[in-house]
A and B are shown apart, each in its own frame.
Chain A
Amino acid sequence: MDSRIIEIIINAFWDMLKQGIVVTIPLTVISFSIAMVIALVVAVVQVANIKVLKQLARFYVWVIRGTPLLVQLFVVFFGLPSIGIVIDAFPSAIIVFSINTGAYASETIRAAIESVPKGQFEAGYCVGMNYVQIMWRIIMPQALKTAFPPLSNSLIGLIKDTSLAASITVVDMFMVAQRVAAATYETFILYCEVALIYLMFCTVLTKLQTYFEKKLKD
């Protein structure tokens, strides 16, 4: 390998890593946090069987799960301006990733809540608690334990999916890779390199997942 390529690899690594820390990770963390709030609300609305809201929740999950993430990004960033709503690239990405991950995660949380035995509810009622108290203090802690592994899965999925934000002009890790590749023509090496950085991020997340899962078990 000649020194030119080594230099490209090293320079690109720092540029990509920097953009990963400044864009990819914040994009993931912010979107995932919002997604969790959406998911909780959407799941509880369905389990609690609140009439109109439940229909809305089902509709939301149906639409979001039934359309491609990339198309959703395009609708918000390239589509909305034509009807007068202009949102910058980064906030557009946050909105779409939050809504998208929220839909999948709400199904995870809903299933986890439904997996808690009915007797837990009945016992709560019999000691005089109301629905909200039981949900918050008894059902949710158990459900979230069950939901933790699949939610970690969603998080790992999301960090990789943020690479799609490059297609709506967000200058993320993948966008940097594309730019360097275009300038140097070293496409193979650079795309493999950026893939490795994603792999690195996901490895850290996987380790964290294992750690917390163990912790939840004790």
Chain B
Amino acid sequence: MLEIKDLHKSFDGLEVLKGIDLKVDKGDVISILGSSGSGKTTLLRCMNFLNSSDKGTMIFDGESYDMGNISKKDIFNLRKKTAFVFQNYNLFINKTAMQNVAEGLIVARKMPKEEAYEKSRKALDKVGLSDRYDYYPRQLSGGQQQRVAIARAIVSDPEVIYFDEPTSSLDPELINEVLNVMRDLAKEGRTMIVVTHEMNFARNVSSKVIFMENGKIAEEGSPEDIFEHPKQERTAQFLSAYRKG
């Protein structure tokens, strides 16, 4: 469904992504692990064109795109097939939960308001916020805000959802409410790519785990492969550091 080939990206001469290849099939839940600075977030942002890429090919639904030289129109169309959940939620501050979810449908997809609000209501119900429709982001906890952000992501029924460390800004006691929602989405067969530090999620929910190191994919495989039989020394080190933690 989605494939990335030989993706390169540098910031001011520092190469952050050094040739990434990634294949995503429908229904995949891919967890991307790695220490900070390994390029995980940049990879995700390049895939949704929030950062430009220097070089690379994206194949989405059989169409091929040159990531280093892609038109605004293509970016615009590709983004409509995807959704993005940010570490800091990035809810529209001047809009209620309901408006946050409906905004993209009404404005970008020109859906009639009634229909958009109906869909948004369902999406908010699904993430357990049926009693928070008219709350503004500042009136919600971090976990609730992130769940609104997830509702905003699923409401357009995207082909793939990118999660950029969705629980890293949350207080420990709020992490589970977000992870549970993500677990439900995975069960439904949603295609998800998740940059995360939640080892339990990576191990129990994902269908595939990628370990990134120094701008490259160091190792990839099933959760069992990666967690039980890591082939690379560095992967084993990284995981054991987390186990101790």
Chain A 1-27, CB-CB to B under 8 Å as 1, else 0, gives 000000000000000000000000000
Chain B 69-82, CB-CB to A under 8 Å as 1, else 0, gives 00000001001101
Q: Point out the residues of chain A lying under 8 angstroms from B109, CB to CB.
A: 128
Contacts of A130 in B (CB 8 A): 76, 108
Q: Which of B82, B91, B93, B103 contacts A137 (CB 8 A)?
A: B103
CA distance A2 to B32 in the complex (A): 90
With contacts A125-B50, A127-B156 taken as known, whether A138 is within 8 angstroms of B92 at the C-beta atoms is yes
Chain B: interface residue total (CB-CB under 8 A):
23
Contact status B90-A128, CB under 8 Å: no
**Which residues of chain B are within 8 angstroms of A133 by Cβ–Cβ distance?**
107-108
The one of B50, B88, B94, B104 that contacts A128, using a Cβ cutoff of 8 Å: B104
Residue from the list B90, B94, B103 in contact with A142, Cβ < 8 A: B94
* Contact of B84 with A120 in the complex, beta carbons under 8 Å: no
Chain A residues in 8 Å Cβ range of B93: 120, 142
A145: chain B residues at CB < 8 Å are 94
Q: Is the interface of A mostly helix, strand, loop or mixed?
A: helix
Is A200 part of the contact surface with B, judged by Cβ < 8 Å? no
Structural contact, A123 and B86, CB atoms closer than 8 A: yes
How many of chain A's residues touch chain B, expressed as a range? 10 to 19
Chain A proximity of B231: nearest CB distance (Å): 35
Q: How many A-B residue pairs have CB under 8 A?
A: 56
Residues in A with CB closer than 8 Å to B222 are none
Interface residues, chain A, CB within 8 Å of chain B? 117, 119-120, 122-130, 133, 137-138, 141-142, 145
**12 A-B pairs whose Cβ atoms sit less than 8 Å apart in the complex:** A117-B90, A120-B93, A122-B84, A123-B86, A123-B90, A123-B91, A123-B92, A125-B79, A126-B82, A133-B107, A137-B103, A138-B95
Give the 10 A-B residue pairs with the shortest CB-CB distance, closest first.
A127-B104, A128-B108, A119-B90, A126-B84, A123-B90, A128-B80, A141-B94, A129-B108, A133-B107, A138-B92
Given contacts A125-B50, A127-B156, A129-B103, 16 further A-B contacts (CB under 8 A): A117-B90, A119-B90, A120-B90, A120-B92, A123-B86, A123-B90, A123-B91, A123-B92, A125-B79, A127-B83, A127-B104, A127-B108, A128-B76, A128-B79, A128-B109, A129-B108
